[in-house]
Structure 1
Amino acid sequence: MKLLAYLLINVEAGKALTVLTEMNKLKEIEHAHVVTGLHDVIALVHAESTKNLADEIVNKIQKINGIQRTVTCIVVNGD
């Protein structure tokens, strides 16, 4: 079963579009958007397990230049 999670991402000033471009290169990212509000980028990520999700976040996403902070919201109910 595929695990889905939304990532709420804060980036350095002026880096949102650069971060978005890099995130869209990752196969695990289903959608990513620059947004207004408390966070700068929101992404929908898929993974095979919570361990796989953690590995993707720590080893791929958080290493993207410009990302300062991520908040992970795992989907528990939905299509």
Structure 2
Amino acid sequence: MLIQTEIGRVAEVGKALRDAPGVESADEVTGPYDIIAKVHASDLLTLGRSVTGAIQKIPGVTRTLTCPTTRHLNLPEDPSPHRENDL
């Protein structure tokens, strides 16, 4: 799920996501959205309830884009760990 926040509220929204049902992880990103979150649900109805009933109600959230996955791709891990200095 992609989440857009009000300017300056990424950290606050990120902390609030910890308590949202189904949220497994959240990372700050660049671009038109500010956070990408992995949200797990047993079905689309449950996912929708989590999005509209909890995540969209977090103060500072201005827009969400939910992208349900259809299949997990087992990609091999990169043998060299990402290092901040490599950027």
4+ residue segments displaced more than 3 Å:
none
Find the structure with the greater CA-based Rg.
Answer: 2
Unaligned residue ranges in structure 1 (runs of 5+): 1-6
Q: How many residues align?
A: 73
2 CA distance for matches of 1:55 and 1:29? Answer: 12
Which residue is 1:19 aligned to?
13
- Structure 1 partner of 2:59: 65
Unpaired stretches in structure 2, ≥5 consecutive residues: 74-87
Give the Cα–Cα distance (whole angstroms) in 1 for the partners of residues 20 and 49 of structure 2: 13
1:5-16 to structure 2, matched below 5 A, reads 7-16=1-10
Identity rate, percent: 36
Structure with a larger share of its residues in strand: 1
Shift of 1:27: 4.3
Q: Output the CA distance in 1 between the equivalents of 2:4 and 2:68.
A: 18
1:13-42 CA distance string (max 9 Å, x none):
000010000002234111101111121000
- State the AA in 2 paired with 1:14: G
CA RMSD after TM alignment? 1.0
Output the TM-score relative to the length of structure 1. 0.87
Normalised to the residue count of structure 2, the TM-score between the two structures is 0.79
Q: Which has the higher contact order (CA 8 A, sep 6+)?
A: 1
Indicate the residue corresponding to 1:55 in structure 2. 49
Q: Specify the code of the residue in structure 1 equivalent to 2:33.
A: H
